[in-house]
């Protein structure tokens, strides 16, 4: 039971709490922008989570199934590379061939490991684009300037996206 509660607590860290679409339609543009800024995911944080725990970056980006598939490929190729050293025959040519195959599979596993970081950042960016479309009903602009009032004056934010 304690494990289940812990799983729910960790899962709630990555959850998305959007109000119903009918409530979003009644919001002003400032309220929609605030909701978007609260719910959007940071791609760098997604990569950091993937470094700490495999598939955690994808879970943060709301695509944990993809993260599990990528991690499964990485772990599978690493285990397959280790299996090539089991029950080695005395033939030196076969030993060298097995070592080459094992090295190739290990390098592929390392490549998938690095790809997982990059992909989790891209998934966070995709999540943000879909979130923007759900809240505002249109694609995010490629160039935007936002002026937000703060206690110490105005805060100007400019962004540009290369498509």
Q: Which residues contact 67 (CB under 8 A, 6 or more apart)?
A: 50, 54, 55, 56, 57, 58, 59, 116, 120
Q: How far apart, in whole angstroms, are the C-alpha atoms of residue 16 and residue 39?
A: 7
pLDDT tens-digit profile, the chain (163 residues): 666 565 555 555 555 566 777 777 788 888 888 888 888 999 999 999 999 988 899 999 888 889 999 989 988 888 888 776 655 556 556 567 777 888 888 888 889 989 999 999 999 999 999 988 888 888 876 766 677 777 777 776 766 655 4
Q: How far apart, in whole angstroms, are the C-alpha atoms of residue 87 and residue 141?
A: 59
């Amino acid at each position: 039971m304690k494990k289940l509660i812990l799983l729910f607590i960790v899962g709630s860290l990555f959850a998305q709490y959007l109000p119903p679409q009918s409530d979003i339609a009644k919001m002003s543009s400032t309220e929609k922008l605030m909701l978007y800024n609260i719910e959007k995911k940071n791609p760098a944080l997604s990569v950091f989570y993937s470094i700490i725990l495999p598939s955690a970056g994808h879970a943060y980006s709301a695509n944990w199934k993809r993260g599990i598939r990528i991690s499964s490929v990485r772990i599978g190729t690493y285990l397959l590379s280790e299996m090539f050293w089991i029950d080695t025959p005395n033939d030196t040519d076969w030993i060298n061939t097995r070592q080459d195959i094992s090295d190739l599979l290990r390098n592929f596993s390392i490549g998938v490991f690095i790809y997982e970081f990059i992909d989790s950042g891209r998934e966070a960016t995709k999540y943000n684009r879909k979130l923007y479309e759900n809240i505002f009903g249109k694609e995010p602009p490629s160039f935007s300037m936002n002026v937000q009032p703060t206690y110490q004056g105005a805060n100007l934010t400019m962004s540009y996206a290369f498509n």
